[in-house]
A = this chain, B = another copy of it.
Amino acid sequence: MIGDLLIPSDRKIIMLIMDGLGGLRNDAFPQTALEAASTPNLDRLAANGACGRSLPIAPGITPGSGPAHFALFGYDPLAPENDAGRGATEVTGVGFELKKEDVAIRGNFATINSEGVLTDRRAGRIPHQEGVRICEKLSDNIREIDGIEIIIMPVREYRFGLVLRGDNLNPAVEETDPQVVDMKPLPPRAMNKDAEFTAGIISKFIQRCNEVLSDEEKANTVLMRGISSKPDIQPFKDKFNLDAAAVAFYPLYRGVAGFCGMKLIDTGGYSPGEAFETVRSGYREGFNFFFIHIKKTDSHGEDGNLEKKKEVIEDVDSNLPAILDLKPDVIMVTGDHSTPCALKSHSWHPVPFLIHSDRCGRDRSRAFSEIECDRGSLGVFPAMTIMPRALANAGMLKKFGA
Binding site for B on A (CB under 8 A): 1-2, 5, 23-26, 52-53, 57-68, 77-78, 83, 86, 89, 226, 252, 340, 342-343, 346-350, 358-364, 370-371, 374-381, 385, 387-393, 397-402
> Closest 6 CB pairs between A and B?
A24-B361, A60-B388, A379-B380, A64-B401, A60-B392, A59-B385
- Can you offer 20 A-B residue contacts whose CB atoms are under 8 A? A24-B361, A24-B362, A25-B362, A59-B388, A60-B387, A60-B392, A60-B393, A62-B397, A62-B399, A62-B400, A63-B399, A65-B401, A346-B399, A347-B359, A348-B397, A363-B370, A364-B375, A371-B377, A375-B375, A378-B380
Residues of B within 8 Å of A63, CB to CB, are 399-401
Residues of B within 8 Å of A86, CB to CB, are 402
Nearest Cβ distance between residue A343 and chain B, in whole angstroms?
6
Residue in A25, A362, A363 with the greatest tally of chain B CB atoms within 10 Å: A362
User: Cα distance A281–B127 when bound, in Å?
Assistant: 58
Q: Is the CB of A1 within 8 A of B58?
A: yes
User: Cα distance A352–B25 when bound, in Å?
Assistant: 21
Say which residue of B23, B342, B343, B361 sits within 8 Å of A26 (CB atoms). B361
User: Cα distance A385–B363 when bound, in Å?
Assistant: 24
> With contacts A64-B399, A66-B401, A364-B374 known, what are 10 further pairs, Cβ within 8 A?
A1-B78, A23-B361, A24-B361, A60-B397, A62-B392, A67-B400, A77-B401, A348-B392, A349-B377, A363-B370
Residue of B nearest to A359 (CB): B343
User: Cα distance A360–B362 when bound, in Å?
Assistant: 28
Q: Is the CB of A61 within 8 A of B371?
A: no
Q: Is the CB of A65 within 8 A of B347?
A: no
Residues of B within 8 Å of A381, CB to CB, are 59, 380
User: Cα distance A379–B63 when bound, in Å?
Assistant: 20
Residue of B nearest to A398 (CB): B62
User: Cα distance A32–B364 when bound, in Å?
Assistant: 13
User: Cα distance A53–B62 when bound, in Å?
Assistant: 21
User: Cα distance A393–B60 when bound, in Å?
Assistant: 8
User: Cα distance A226–B402 when bound, in Å?
Assistant: 10
User: Cα distance A241–B159 when bound, in Å?
Assistant: 36
Q: Is the CB of B358 within 8 A of A26?
A: yes
Residues of B within 8 Å of A83, CB to CB, are 401
User: Cα distance A340–B392 when bound, in Å?
Assistant: 14
Q: Is the CB of B358 within 8 A of A364?
A: no
Residues of B within 8 Å of A2, CB to CB, are 60
Say which residue of B61, B77, B359 sits within 8 Å of A397 (CB atoms). B61
User: Cα distance A398–B348 when bound, in Å?
Assistant: 10
Q: Is the CB of B385 within 8 A of A60?
A: yes
Nearest Cβ distance between residue A66 and chain B, in whole angstroms?
5
Nearest Cβ distance between residue A53 and chain B, in whole angstroms?
7
Nearest Cβ distance between residue A90 and chain B, in whole angstroms?
10
Q: Is the CB of B371 within 8 A of A363?
A: yes
